[in-house]
């Protein structure tokens, strides 16, 4: 078997040049929680691992009031879940990262890694899509920005070119009065990846009339699922049980979920129909 070579660039530009030089024979290594497992299982056989550990300036959480939250790509899940500005201003983001696996995985897994991996059974992508987050991407030909929704294209498939690197995730501030929730449904162990994940942002006005609803369902198809025509059923109305049931049914009917060891397609549809109303209720603080 060919020997694996570990390369240790010190800048993003150097890492991108190494990716371009070695092409499909190389892989970026961030936290390694996905990559090393795939390597050990023989699913990938790169010749070069380009380790991001020594690349400076990619591990930070920055927030100025009135501006986007900025997460460096090498920020760990654990750092996000524990960050005071994230917990105060984006509690749903802290909660989604907190719900990933266990503390050992979260101490290692990175924000850039979970997005670049595009594993459908992940928690953070649905919340990042609901929040309208964007990723900054750097490559030998310069920089570009994509929404998380544009980045994740399907099962383990992203819009990244082979020599591009995610450098930062930007999360916009939510409008005043926005309430949020992320519900993760697991069908096997409590530390398992999601069978279904539902992220909700809701903004109600006087008398509980809904002004805005965003619902994103994750872990059921190749990319997070959002349906504006179903969200629109909420706008201008009270979110009573009958309306929430319609919205839950609308999502279940619109999605064609996969079947895997966490649940069949039929089972996932039942979970979506039940979990969407529950997540909206949790966001608006009505857990009855
Ligand atoms: C036991 C276990 C349980 C888990 N449970 C959950 C769970 O409940 N919920 C959940 O959401 N996830 C779960 N995960 C997945 C885990 O969160 C991901 O493996 C992790 O987020 C990947 O991040 P990483 O930094 O370790 O990436 P790596 O493994 O280092 O890399 C993953 C992929 O992304 C590429 N990559 C990494 N960084 C970048 C970058 N900056 N730019 C471009 N490409 C990059 C790599 O080349 C590789 O292809 C679990 C993982 C394990 C091992």
Is 56 inside any structural domain?
A: no
Answer whether 91 contacts ligand 1 (Cβ < 6 A).
no
Q: What does the alpha-carbon distance between residue 260 and residue 222 come to, in Å, rounded to a whole number?
A: 12
Using CA positions, which residue lies closest to atom 43 of ligand 1?
Answer: 165
Q: What is the pLDDT of residues 202-257, one digit of tens each?
A: 999 888 899 999 999 999 999 999 999 999 999 999 999 999 999 999 999 999 99
Give yes or no: residues 34 and 115 share one domain. Answer: no
Answer whether 163 contacts ligand 1 (Cβ < 6 A).
no
Is 19 inside any structural domain?
A: yes
Q: What does the alpha-carbon distance between residue 279 and residue 35 come to, in Å, rounded to a whole number?
A: 32
Is 23 inside any structural domain?
A: yes
> What number does the ligand 1 atom closest to the CA of 164 have?
43
Q: What is the pLDDT of residues 18-57, one digit of tens each?
A: 999 999 999 999 999 999 999 999 999 999 999 999 998 9
Give yes or no: residues 66 and 142 share one domain. Answer: yes
Give yes or no: residues 14 and 87 share one domain. Answer: no
Nearest CA to 272 among 221, 236, 232? 221
Determine the structural domain holding residue 218 and report its residue range: 178-284
Give yes or no: residues 93 and 159 share one domain. Answer: yes
Domain boundary among 151, 171, 191: 171
Answer whether 12 contacts ligand 1 (Cβ < 6 A).
no
Give yes or no: residues 247 and 149 share one domain. Answer: no
pTM of the model: 0.97
| Ligand 1, pocket-test mutation among 114, 120, 128, most atoms within 8 A of CB | 114
Answer whether 27 contacts ligand 1 (Cβ < 6 A).
yes
Between the CA of 158 and the centroid of ligand 1 the distance, in Å, is 14
Q: What is the pLDDT of residues 109-144, one digit of tens each?
A: 999 999 999 999 999 999 999 999 999 999 988 999
Answer whether 73 contacts ligand 1 (Cβ < 6 A).
yes
Give yes or no: residues 152 and 220 share one domain. Answer: no
Answer whether 186 contacts ligand 1 (Cβ < 6 A).
no
The answer to whether 5 and 48 are in contact (CB under 8 A) is yes
Give yes or no: residues 226 and 156 share one domain. Answer: no
Is 203 inside any structural domain?
A: yes
User: Could you give the number of structural domains in the chain?
Assistant: 3
Is 55 inside any structural domain?
A: no
Is 239 inside any structural domain?
A: yes
Q: What is the pLDDT of residues 179-217, one digit of tens each?
A: 999 999 999 998 899 999 999 999 998 888 999 999 999
CATH (domain of 42): 3.30.43
Give yes or no: residues 30 and 65 share one domain. Answer: no
CATH (domain of 232): 3.30.390.50
Answer whether 116 contacts ligand 1 (Cβ < 6 A).
yes
């Amino acid at each position: 078997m060919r020997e694996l070579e570990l390369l240790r660039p010190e800048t993003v530009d150097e890492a991108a040049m190494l990716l371009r030089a070695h092409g499909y024979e190389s892989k970026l290594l961030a936290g390694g929680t996905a990559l090393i497992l795939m390597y050990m299982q023989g699913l990938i056989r790169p010749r070069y691992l380009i380790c991001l550990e020594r690349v400076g300036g990619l591990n930070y959480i920055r927030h100025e009031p009135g501006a986007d939250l900025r997460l460096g790509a090498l920020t760990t899940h654990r750092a996000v879940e524990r960050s005071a500005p994230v917990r105060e201003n984006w509690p749903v983001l802290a909660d989604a990262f907190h719900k990933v696996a266990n503390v050992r995985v979260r101490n290692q897994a990175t924000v850039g890694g979970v997005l670049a991996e595009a594993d459908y059974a992940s928690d953070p992508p649905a919340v990042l899509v609901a929040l309208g987050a964007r990723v900054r991407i750097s490559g030998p030909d310069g920089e570009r920005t994509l929404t998380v929704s544009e980045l994740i294209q399907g099962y383990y498939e992203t819009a990244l070119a082979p020599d591009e690197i995610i450098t930062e995730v930007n999360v916009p501030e939510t409008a005043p009065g926005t309430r949020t929730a992320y519900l993760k449904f697991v069908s096997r162990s409590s530390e398992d990846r999601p069978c279904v994940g539902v992220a909700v942002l809701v903004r109600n006005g006087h008398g509980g009339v809904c002004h805005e609803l965003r619902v994103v369902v994750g872990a059921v198809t190749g990319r997070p699922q959002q349906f504006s025509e179903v969200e629109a059923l909420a706008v201008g109305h009270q979110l009573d049980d009958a309306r929430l049931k319609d919205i839950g049914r609308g999502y279940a009917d619109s999605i064609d979920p996969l079947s895997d060891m966490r649940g069949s397609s039929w089972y996932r549809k039942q979970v979506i129909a039940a979990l969407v109303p529950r997540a909206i209720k949790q966001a608006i603080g009505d857990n009855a």
